[in-house]
């Protein structure tokens, strides 16, 4: 086992994928010699060369459009969108071409494109650098959407995303890039199970009284709240979704049937978000097991504020703990 930050773990996963398949090509702004803004691709240009780690112009629609053409010719492009708020110039390419080509071609064309997106806040950044746009893409049929929460998952899931025959939007929680954990760099990789493995949620803490559903940047927050709840006499289960589309609602529903209570937390606005879909699934499939309404804790329904106010905007221990206390009161 090797102790790595999430950024270094994703870098190691990219390296493994490139060593395994010469058709894997990285593309993005400043990802080459510089190694990316967050240094996630550091050293890969030196080791694999400029043909496989390609600096691109500042043109996200061009990056994704080029990746689509390369995928049609047999490559496995991995695009980096430098910051979450920069993905929107490529929105049409992603949602009208990348997501639909396989269906439109009746299965005769596959587009194994991975789009890496550093997302979410808590880094004190300026406007357009702390967005949580995952809801746009989970609402788009034809895309897989994943979000690791730990260095171990960053290492494994980026390899699974690249091996997957479907296009994957891979959201990396930028505030967690510096979190450290042990990673098994020599773990065997089963390409045949890459798609199913990436799509399964994980129970990261067992509990009996309530379920917190989280993903990406909010998993650590959920664990903090579960610890506080335990000190106050309550047992809270925490689920890391890992995959947002497809959604492993079976794991969530099983947990809620056991605990009878559910709170969902994400940084994106609560309104019309991923949490709303989970709440609907839980209500449909576990209604007679619920002891309290399903609650959501998220960003407020407003543009992401300046860094001075982001801690008032984002879910906090106090806000999430209040929601847990409310469901436990029933």
Give catalytic residues, as residue numbers: 129
DSSP secondary structure, 273-307, as one string? SHHHHHHHHHHHHHGGG-SS--EEEEE-SSPPPPG
What angle, rounded to 10 degrees, do the helices at 151-163 and 6-20 form?
30
Beta-strand relationship, 168-173 and 144-146? parallel
Coil, helix or strand for 64?
A: helix
Record the tokens describing residue 210, joined without a space: 């309530």
**Strands 2-5 vs 180-183: parallel, antiparallel or unpaired:** antiparallel
CA distance 133 to 147: 12
Distance CA 210, CA 257 (A): 10
Helical spans, DSSP H, in the chain: 6-20, 44-48, 60-72, 91-92, 101-104, 134-138, 151-163, 194-198, 219-231, 249-259, 274-286, 310-313, 317-328
Query: Can you name the residues that pair with 265 across neighbouring β-strands?
Result: 297
How far is it, in rounded angstroms, from Cα 276 to Cα 268?
Answer: 11
The pair of three-digit structure tokens given for residue 152, joined into one six-digit string: 């171990």
Q: Packing angle between helix 219-231 and helix 317-328, nearest 10 degrees?
A: 50
Beta partners for residue 3, in sequence order: 182
Phi, psi for 66 (deg, rounded to 5): -65, -40
């Amino acid at each position: 086992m090797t102790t790595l930050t999430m950024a270094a773990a994703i870098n190691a996963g990219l390296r493994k994928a490139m060593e395994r398949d010469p058709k894997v090509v990285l593309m993005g702004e400043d990802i080459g010699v510089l190694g990316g803004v967050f240094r996630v691709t550091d050293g890969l240009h030196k080791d694999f060369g400029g043909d496989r780690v390609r600096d691109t112009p500042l043109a996200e629609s061009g990056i994704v459009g080029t990746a689509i053409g390369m995928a049609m010719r047999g490559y496995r492009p991995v695009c980096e969108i430098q910051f979450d708020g920069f993905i929107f110039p490529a929105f049409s390419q992603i949602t009208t071409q990348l997501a639909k080509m396989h269906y439109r071609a009746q299965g005769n064309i596959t587009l194994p494109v991975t789009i890496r997106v550093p997302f979410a806040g808590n880094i004190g950044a300026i406007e357009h650098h702390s967005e949580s746009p995952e809801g746009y893409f989970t609402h788009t049929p034809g895309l897989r959407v994943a979000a690791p929460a730990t260095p171990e998952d960053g290492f494994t899931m980026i390899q699974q995303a690249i091996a997957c025959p479907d296009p994957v939007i891979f959201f990396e929680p930028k505030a967690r890039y510096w979190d450290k954990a042990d990673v098994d760099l020599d773990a065997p990789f089963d390409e045949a199970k890459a798609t199913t493995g990436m799509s399964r949620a994980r129970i990261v803490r067992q509990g009996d009284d309530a379920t917190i559903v989280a993903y990406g940047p909010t998993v650590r927050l959920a664990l903090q709240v579960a610890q506080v709840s335990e000190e106050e006499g309550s047992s809270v289960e925490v689920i890391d979704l890992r995959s947002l589309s497809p959604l492993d609602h079976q794991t969530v529903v099983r947990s809620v049937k056991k605990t009878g209570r559910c709170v969902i937390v994400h940084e994106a606005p609560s309104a019309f978000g991923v949490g709303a879909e989970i709440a609907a699934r839980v209500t449909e499939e576990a209604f007679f097991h619920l002891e309290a309404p399903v609650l959501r804790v998220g960003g407020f329904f407003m543009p992401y504020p300046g860094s001075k106010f982001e801690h008032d905007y984002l879910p906090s221990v106090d806000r999430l703990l209040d929601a847990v206390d409310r469901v436990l009161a029933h």
